[in-house]
Amino acid sequence: MALTLDPQVAEALAPIAAAMVGTTPPPVGDVAARRAALEGLIAHTDAAQPTPTDVTTTEHHLDTVDGEKIRMRWYAKQDSAGQPGPAAVYYHGGGMILGHIDLFDGSIARYVSASGTPILSVDYRRAPEHRYPTPVEDAYAGLVWLHEHAVELGVDPARIAVFGDSAGGGLAAAVSILARDRQGPPIAQQILVMPMLDDRNFAPDPHLAPFVLWSWDDNRTGWGALLGDAAGGPDVPAAAAPARVADPAGLPPAYIEVGQLDIFRDEDLSYALRLSQAGVPVEFHLHPGVPHEFESIAFESDAARRVMADRVRVLAAL
C-alpha cells in the first residue's frame, strides 16, 4: 500500500496545495524567497488559533561573546508563583535561515498555558548572515542564561529542558551535545520535534516527494547557508549536525517525534535508535500520514491533537 496523507490533514492542506499549482519553487540557495514565502505562512498559522490570556511575557536580552545582543522572551502562567519548578528553553524552526521569536508567540503561549511549564524563547541569529557556530552558540548561551537566572525566575535548575521543532529541534540536540562535552548546565530532557539533524540529507525519496512541505532543495539551502561548502562533507562537527555525533552516551533523555511523510523521518528514526543503543532513555513517535509542521496548519485534525497532547504532557512532566 502506498503512503497517503491523513484525510483530515489533506483537507486542511488543500488550499495551500491549490495556491501552489503552477508556481515554481525557488532555486537552491535562494534564502530571500524562502523567507518571503514561509515567514508569512508561519505568521498566519500562529495567529489562526487563540492566544491564551493566562500567560505573561517578559523581554530579556543576552550579551553574546562576540559583542551582540539577542532577544529572549520569557513566558509564564500568571498563577505560577510558588516553589521552584521546571522550565524549557525553546528554539524555533525555520531551516536555520528564517523565522524569529515574534512569529511563534502564540504557539509558545499555548504550550505554557496548557502545560504550566514556563518557556524561554531564544532569538538565535540565522544563517547565512550568521553561519555555524553562531546560531548554536546563541542557543547554548540561552541555556546558560536560564540556569544563571533560575532562582529569580522561580526555576529549579535541575528541571530545565531544551525544546525545539525542525531547525530548532536540531539546535536543541546540538545544545545537548555541547552541554555534555563542555560539562555545562545540566539538561533534564531534550524535546526534539521533527528535528533537522543531518546535513547529508539531500537525496529525494520518491515515496515522500508528493507530500513534502520542506523539500530537499529547501534542506540543501538551509544546510548550505549554515555550513557553506562544508555541508554534506566529511568534516562537519556534531554541534552543527547532531546526526554526526560519534558517541551519544551521556546525552539527556530524549523525546523525539516526526511524521512519516517528513523528509527528516529517517534521520530522526536513526537518531532515536542510536540514542537508545547508547543507553539514553528515549520516547519516540512516528506519526503516520503527516508531513513536516503539519499541526500548525491542520491544527483541528485528530493527528494534531495527539501530537500536541504528547508535547504538553512531556513539558508538564519535567
Which residue of the set 107, 113, 121, 166 is catalytic?
166
Could you tell me where the beta strands, DSSP code E, fall in the chain?
55-63, 69-77, 85-91, 119-122, 155-165, 189-193, 254-259, 282-287
Which residues are 54's β-sheet partners? none
Amino acid residing at 183? Q
Task: State the CB neighbour count (10 A cutoff) for residue 20.
Answer: 11
Which residues are 138's β-sheet partners? none
292 as an active site residue: the answer is yes
Which residue of the set 6, 105, 123, 262 is catalytic?
262
**CA atoms of 75 and 59, how far apart (whole Å):** 9
247 as an active site residue: the answer is no
247, three cell numbers? 558517541
The residue count for the chain? 318
**CA atoms of 224 and 292, how far apart (whole Å):** 20
Which residue of the set 199, 292, 296, 301 is catalytic?
292
121 as an active site residue: the answer is no
64, three cell numbers? 553574546
**CA atoms of 310 and 188, how far apart (whole Å):** 17
Active site residues: 166, 262, 292
